[in-house]
Structure 1
Amino acid sequence: MTQTEHDDAAAFAAYQASFSEVPGYLNFASYGPPSSRVHDRIEHLVRLAGEGAVGATERLEGENLRARESFSRLSGFPLDRVGMTGSTSLGLFQVAFGLPGGSVLVSAGEFPSNIYPWLRTGGIGRARVDLVGAPGTRMTPDVVARSLTSDTVAVSVSAVDFRTGYRADLAGIRDVIGPDRLLVVDGIQGFGVADLEWTLADVLITGAQKWVRGTWGVAALAFSPQGLERVEPVLTGWTGVTDSRRYDGVEHRPLPGAERFSVSNLSPYATGAFAEALELMESVGARAIDGIVSTHAAALIEELDAAGVPVLSPRDREQRAGIVVAGVSGRAADAHAALAAAGISATRHGEDRIRLSVHATTRSEVFSEAAKVLADFA
């Protein structure tokens, strides 16, 4: 083993040791159990706030910058084009209300947080939604190309689809929409486990609570120069303007970068948890996490195949991330209950599908057990 390989192995061992989820946890697409480092950071910050010592406010507020800096390094966007907001949903609303007109192409099968913002803006003279396809439709470059019109100003897509696990071809979509339309990417089901070229997006929004494993209450916003220029800071607040602490009763100019989308001060416990989780990801690298997640997903698919359980998510490594969907036609409620009885956490989608999701810390021995349970319902 080379020194580099030894260092990488040691880094991953430290990473893995910081998590303590039960072996049957296969539900990272719902939320990612945070690490002991995140627990400790939140506890430290609460204690700091509780003491109320001189300088505590500044130290608490500094967690926002820590999170922005780490997100900048991991995403590839410069720091001045990275901001923070309260959630992926809020970030999407800010983008939707910030686009002045035209239509935005969105899959009808998207998670609702990527549909409702565009529905809400259509009647007030801002951008309006153009829904395409149906639940389960993959937003491939071909689907996008066929759906574009002369009025399309943006395409909004999930990097990884919550329902199917399909990993979007961001490069292909970027190519077919051209340089003049915006590409808005909801990264919450991919950031942290899919090593994508995130800077293909004009707007990237990623909440902390799922694959990043940074708890609830914060999300990152990142912009290309074009995205920052064209998305107006309509839904912003007093912390998104210059001289924000000069309380003079007049409107101040927006800040020059992505911080213009700040609505108010965020919880330092949320930003501190986000920063800690992002820095922990950095310690092993997104590419390494992607590789391990891919290996785990392939192993789970193999076990489901061996048990005769239909796999409804993509099999091609380039088209999937950490989500594997099992087909249990008409029996999802019973299958979900049986998994729970076996100590396995998963998500039920309707009557026909069980969504399983794996991370780098998932223990592979649970795959055969999950497949065995689901085989009774396939």
Structure 2
Amino acid sequence: MKHPFSSYRKLFPILDHTIQLSSCSQSALSLPVRRAIDEYLEVWLKRGADWGYWMEQVALARAEFARMIHAQPDDIAVLGSVSDAASSIASALHFEADRREIVTTTLDFPSICHVWLAQAPRGAQMRFVQAEAGSTDTTERIAGALDAQTALVSVSHACFYDGQRVDIAATGREARRHGAIQFVDAYQSAGAITIDVEAQAVDILAAGAQKYLLGIPGIAFLYVRPTLARRLTPTVTGWFGRVDPFAFDPAGLDFAAGAARFNTGTPPMMCANVARASMALLNEIGIPAIEDYLGQLSAVALEEAVRLGLVVASPADAAAKGANTAIRVPDAARIEARMLEAGYVVSARNDVIRIAPHFYNTAEDVTGALRALAGLIR
């Protein structure tokens, strides 16, 4: 299988000695990201504090994320994590007597579910849709659970556990039909799956940088549809949620227009440097091309896993999943450590090992990891 991005492989030095296949947890370090970190440290060393430079990097990162999801930079807030983004959104919701439900699934990431559960004292009621590993009908299950009682539906675009995908346009349409808001957790899809918030009519979408966005923990991006943003007033806030953060008015609580009202405290400056560099690389290549290639690697992974007799937890159809292919493994954490000894960085979650390539990986990387895994299991 030809590698269409072979010229980029040299940007990831780890691949000279170790095959990193853990983009569902942490992608490989690229030279542009290393340069961005060094640049930040150099500015800090030579200038001490440079707010102009810091704010420029935050703005550039916001613009790169907006470009990636077909939004405008003013529609993007910058926070410390997706949990922070969800908390800011949750604080702006009102749970009325006839519209109290938050709908999510049993396979959504716990951190986001915990944010919604924490709204119970404010009147929210959780409804968990049963989702099965390897399933291809989760979209329909979610859509079928929505009704006039739904205040918000929270969906993972791609599941952290088995990679299964949800059609966010379909669940979003059903949410709007019932007068509800949809929150999309795109942490496992942004950078690997094409997202068009305009075409898919997305209400709210959040993603962090350390997985398929090729960055590091500590920064997340929150898209809020402009007409919706104007209707919401968060109570989780900070000085960067103001019209002018640098007015330094302790008694004035004005809210910035658009998504900026969901900003909280000082942005994560170094993380923004990294995210600007990492997303610029992804946008240079183009997410549709990356998604197509990762679909091919998924097909390779599924075929090889079946050939090796491995038990696959992910959907059997490559088109129904993201880049992550989950293999059921007893004592997954121990096997993860053994895989590293064998030269492969993979990611354990509960009872699965996740093989999650990015565009810099090859089909040989994937098949080699699966053969090593099969040998260790036996």
TM-score w.r.t. structure 1 length? Answer: 0.89
Identify the residue that residue 60 of structure 2 maps to in structure 1. Answer: 66
Identify the residue that residue 91 of structure 1 maps to in structure 2. Answer: 85
- State the alpha-carbon separation in 2 of the partners of residues 140 and 227 from structure 1: 26
Deviations for 1:228-271, whole angstroms, at most 9, x for unmatched residues?
A: 13432211111211232223431231001111111122132111
Identify the residue that residue 237 of structure 1 maps to in structure 2. Answer: 238
- The partner residue of 1:131 within 124, 128, 131 is 128
- Letter of the aligned partner of 1:341 in structure 2? E
Identify the residue that residue 5 of structure 1 maps to in structure 2. Answer: none
Identify the residue that residue 177 of structure 1 maps to in structure 2. Answer: 175
Deviations for 1:15-57, whole angstroms, at most 9, x for unmatched residues?
A: 333222334212111111231111101211211122117x932
Among the aligned pairs, what percent are the same residue?
Answer: 25
1:371–1:224 Cα change, 3 Å? same
Deviation (angstroms), 1:139: 6.7
Gaps of 5+ in 1: 1-8
- State the alpha-carbon separation in 1 of the partners of residues 276 and 90 from structure 2: 26
CA contact (8 A) 2:33 2:277 kept: yes
1:217–1:109 Cα change, 3 Å? same
TM-score w.r.t. structure 2 length? Answer: 0.89
The 3-state SS of whatever aligns with 2:118 is helix
CA contact (8 A) 1:92 1:113 kept: no
Deviations for 1:119-173, whole angstroms, at most 9, x for unmatched residues?
A: 1111134x44222215636672321233223210111011100111101111221
Deviation (angstroms), 1:226: 4.2
Identify the residue that residue 278 of structure 1 maps to in structure 2. Answer: 279
- State the alpha-carbon separation in 2 of the partners of residues 268 and 336 from structure 1: 32
Structure 2 counterparts to residues 185-334 of structure 1, below 5 A:
185-199=184-198, 200-328=201-329, 330=330, 332=332
- State the alpha-carbon separation in 1 of the partners of residues 155 and 358 from structure 2: 22
- Which shifted more, 332-341 or 169-178? 332-341
Structure 2 counterparts to residues 48-67 of structure 1, below 5 A:
48-52=43-47, 56-67=50-61
The 3-state SS of whatever aligns with 2:345 is coil
- State the alpha-carbon separation in 1 of the partners of residues 58 and 331 from structure 2: 45
Deviations for 1:164-207, whole angstroms, at most 9, x for unmatched residues?
A: 11011112212322352111101010000011333432111010
1:356–1:132 Cα change, 3 Å? same
- State the alpha-carbon separation in 2 of the partners of residues 120 and 227 from structure 1: 23
Identify the residue that residue 347 of structure 1 maps to in structure 2. Answer: 347
- State the alpha-carbon separation in 1 of the partners of residues 91 and 311 from structure 2: 41
- State the alpha-carbon separation in 2 of the partners of residues 134 and 279 from structure 1: 35
The 3-state SS of whatever aligns with 1:145 is helix
CA contact (8 A) 1:11 1:284 kept: no
1:41–1:337 Cα change, 3 Å? closer
1:242–1:368 Cα change, 3 Å? closer
- Letter of the aligned partner of 1:17 in structure 2? K
The size of the alignment, in residue pairs, is 366
Deviation (angstroms), 1:116: 0.6
- Which shifted more, 161-170 or 337-346? 337-346
- Which shifted more, 308-317 or 37-46? 308-317
Structure 2 counterparts to residues 31-180 of structure 1, below 5 A:
31-52=26-47, 56-101=50-95, 102-125=100-123, 127-133=124-130, 136=133, 140-179=138-177, 180=179
Gaps of 5+ in 2: none
1:159–1:347 Cα change, 3 Å? same
1:177–1:248 Cα change, 3 Å? closer
